[in-house]
Amino acid sequence: MENFQVLPFLYGVIGGLGLFLYGMKLMSDGLQKSAGDGLRKILEKLTSNRFIGAFVGIVITSIIQSSSATTVMVVGFVNAGLLKLTQALSVVLGANIGTTITGQIIAFKITDFALPAIGIGVFMRIFLKHPRIHYYGEVLIGFGMLFLGLDIMKDSFGPLKSSAGFKELFVTFSKNPVMAVMAGAVLTMIIQSSSATLGITMALAFNGILDFYTAAAFVLGENIGTTVTANLAAIGTSRAARRAALGHFLFNLIGVIYMLVFLKFMMTAVDSFTPGNPDFVSADGTRPNISRHIANFHTLFNIINTLLFLPFINRLADLCIILIPGREKGRKEIILDDNLLNTPEMAISNARKEVSRMSDQVVEMLELSKKGFFEKDLKSIRRVFELENSVDLMEKNISEYLTKLFHKPISESNSYRINTMIHVIHDLEKVGDYAESITKYADKMIREKISFSEDANEEAQYLFDVAIRFAKHVLDVYNKDKDPEELSTADEDLIDELKINLKNNHLGRLNQGVCTAEHGILYVDLINKLEKAGDNIFNIAQAVLGTYK
């Protein structure tokens, strides 16, 4: 113990862990940004098929390098009503396999490439201009920092071999694997990263402080500890979201329990296909082969666990429903869940769905304002006023959500998409305002028993129809991500032409005494509001075409 110095040990572990975690974040952010639209397209492939769901979980977690992030994202999607519980659980099962890729990368002895990777990454980030090259640079910097941090931790853990107290502690763990599982779970809960805990486990094993048996038990505990993040994220969310997070915990907990029974058999199986003896000790007292054994154990455990649970995923969902009983109140709206903000692609996809819902309500307001105006329908008028409050609230919520996204590491293309959405929801809100104003005119006409001439009614109804048709067409192209070449703005020119013609016709009727000046003011205001609504719809068309002013 006299050779063990506490402060250098703490400095090394804290600094190395900090580099490791920050490197993981940089690498994850760079991979997400370089993946671009890929994450959203991968999620869109998700169906009720559990095997496809598991595959999606593997792919997404491999890209973002964090099973916790994937699971938190899935909880957010369940909370938003975008995924069913069984779909979410299948993704989570796949995420457990995807996260083992990090361990496999760590097990490669490529620490010598850490500094060159950082140097090349910095050069790409600072001196090269293409955004995608910047993202790849971030990946390289994160990759290098990850291994540099791991190397520092390995060196820092070396002196622990001279500490009798630590030796006694880890001997206890080797005799009692349940305690090792608990220690791995608690450490992962504290660090909030199973990859970091796995790195620490490998560093301890490499230095001969943990044997393969104890390290394997630690890895099992880490699989339990990593579920805490999603369960914390699920606090205050819907029942379905809490069930998805609980399912992740139960899946890992049950897997660890049965795996403890077969732990030595599993170790033998891993040893049979992994080169080298995990217990081999080199001249410097390290175990050079054990890291690959730990990584392979981690991967094999999660593959077996996933394959065993996939056929029974409906039963797992039923168990979650039993443990968290009650009915979920039905809701149609999309919730802009903050849990998705750490995965910008998914957050943007979620926000686009909310914009689509806002679009539907604005079009409904236009249609109802027409019905209220020409049919004197009081029910339609009341509904427009209700929808106006809803549209205003949606604009506020979406705008605040997108503003939060700007503080996250996002690609240039995602920044453009967010800016476009902010413009679109502003224009949608303005169209809703015009529909509300027209509805107020309708209410006034009913109360004061005002009516237009037959010709004025026919002309105004046609202008209304053109405005509604234009709004439906543009919003359909925007919300369904159709080819911009399918977009036609001919109705914008027609609306402008109709505005002039209808005003001229109105002046003619006014000169002939067919209508009064008071009626004429309402008529002209109606035409102006519809023309302005057309202008805002045209703005959205420009967003689709990429020419928004």
Say what the pLDDT of residue 429 is. 95
Q: 459 with 527: CB under 8 angstroms?
A: no
Distance CA 316, CA 248 (A): 10
- Greatest CA separation for the chain: 110
Inform me whether the pLDDT recorded for 351 exceeds 80: yes
Q: For residues 204 and 79, give the distance between their C-alpha atoms in angstroms, rounded to a whole number.
A: 39
Range among 57-61, 356-360, 411-415 rated most confident: 356-360
Query: What is the CA 433 to chain-centroid distance, rounded?
Result: 31
Side chain identity at 137, as an amino acid letter? G
Transcribe 323-385 into DSSP letters: HS-SPPPP--SPP--GGGTTSHHHHHHHHHHHHHHHHHHHHHHHHHHHHHHHH--HHHHHHHH
Q: H-helix or E-strand containing 540?
A: helix 517-545
Query: Among 385-394, 409-418, 464-473, which is the least confidently predicted range?
Result: 409-418
Task: Give the separation between CA 104 and CA 122, rounded to whole angstroms.
Answer: 25
Q: What is the pLDDT of residue 428?
A: 95
Angle at 61 between CA 55 and CA 64, to 5 degrees: 145
Q: Which two tokens stand for residue 214?
A: 């104890």
- Pick 9 or 497 by higher pLDDT: 497
pLDDT, average across residues 240-265: 91
Interval 77-111: pLDDT, tens: 777 666 788 888 898 899 889 888 888 888 887 77
What gap in Å lies between CA 233 and CA 94, rounded to an integer?
19
How high is the mean pLDDT of the chain?
Answer: 84
Q: Are 370 and 461 in contact (CB under 8 A)?
A: yes
Reported as type and span, the H/E element at residue 62 is helix 50-64
**How far apart are the C-alpha atoms of 179 and 217, rounded to whole Å?**
9
pLDDT of residue 238: 77
Token digits of residue 412: 């240039």
Q: Which amino acid, 432? A: G
Pairwise CA distance, residues 498 & 515, whole Å = 19
**Residue 1: per-residue pLDDT:** 43
User: For the chain, how many helices (H) and strands (E)?
Assistant: 23, 0
User: Mean pLDDT over residues 456-462, rounded?
Assistant: 87
Predicted pLDDT of residue 331: 47
pTM: 0.70
CATH code: domain 338-545 is: 1.20.58.220
Burial track 254-267 (b if 16+ CB lie within 10 A, e otherwise): ebbeebbeebeebb
| Residue at token pair 């914009």 | 355
pLDDT at residue number 47: 55
Question: Could you tell me what percentage of the chain is helix, strand and coil, using 3-state DSSP and rounding each to the nearest 5?
Answer: 80, 0, 20
Task: Give 339's pLDDT tier (boundaries 50, 70, 90).
Answer: confident
DSSP assignment letter at 65:
T
Q: Identify the burial level of 193 via C-beta atoms within 10 angstroms of its C-beta, where 0-12 means exposed, 13-18 middle and 19 or more buried.
A: buried
Mean pLDDT value of segment 473-493: 89
| pLDDT at 295 (0 to 100) | 93
DSSP secondary structure string for all residues of 141-154: HHHHHHHHHHHHHH
pLDDT for 8 beyond 50: yes
* C-alpha to C-alpha distance for 57 and 69, rounded to whole angstroms: 11
* Dihedral Cα 71, 248, 265, 201, nearest 10 deg: 50
- Yes or no: say if 118 and 148 are a contact pair by the CB < 8 Å rule: yes
Token pair 């000790």 in the structure block, residue = 281
- Average pLDDT, integer, range 4-28: 83
pLDDT of 118 higher than 80: yes
User: Taking 50 as the threshold, does the pLDDT of residue 330 lie above it?
Assistant: no
Give mean pLDDT, residues 456-484: 90
Contact 512/504 with Cβ under 8 angstroms? no
pLDDT of 332 reads: 47
Rounded average pLDDT over 454-472: 90
Is residue 481 exposed (0-12), middle (13-18) or buried (19+ Cβ within 10 Å)? exposed
Angle CA 48–51–55, to nearest 5: 110
> Which pLDDT score, from 0 to 100, does residue 273 have?
92
| Identity of residue 165 | G
Domain extents in the chain: 6-323, 338-545
Residues whose CB is less than 8 angstroms from the CB of residue 544 and which lie 6 or more positions away in sequence, other chains included: 474, 477, 478, 484, 487
Report the C-alpha gap between 328 and 84 in whole angstroms: 12
Number of neighbouring beta carbons within 10 Å of residue 434: 24
Instruction: Give the separation between CA 24 and CA 106, rounded to whole angstroms.
Output: 11
- Within 158-226, residue ranges assigned H as helices are 164-175, 177-191, 194-206, 212-225
Contact 328, 238 (CB under 8 A): yes
pLDDT given for residue 58 in this prediction? 87
Instruction: Kindly state the percentage of the chain with pLDDT values over 90.
Output: 32
Tokens standing for residue 185: 């779970």
Residue-wise pLDDT for 355-371, tens only, equals 999 999 999 999 999 99
- The DSSP secondary structure of 1-18, one letter per residue, reads -TT--HHHHHHHHHHHHH
Cα separation, 386 vs 166, in Å, equals: 67
**Those residues with Cβ within 8 angstroms of residue 6's Cβ, 6 or more apart along the chain or in another chain:** none
- The yes-or-no verdict on residue 170 having pLDDT over 70 is no
Task: List the one residue out of 280, 266, 204, 192 whose CA is nearest residue 233.
Answer: 192
Q: What is the pLDDT of residue 42?
A: 64
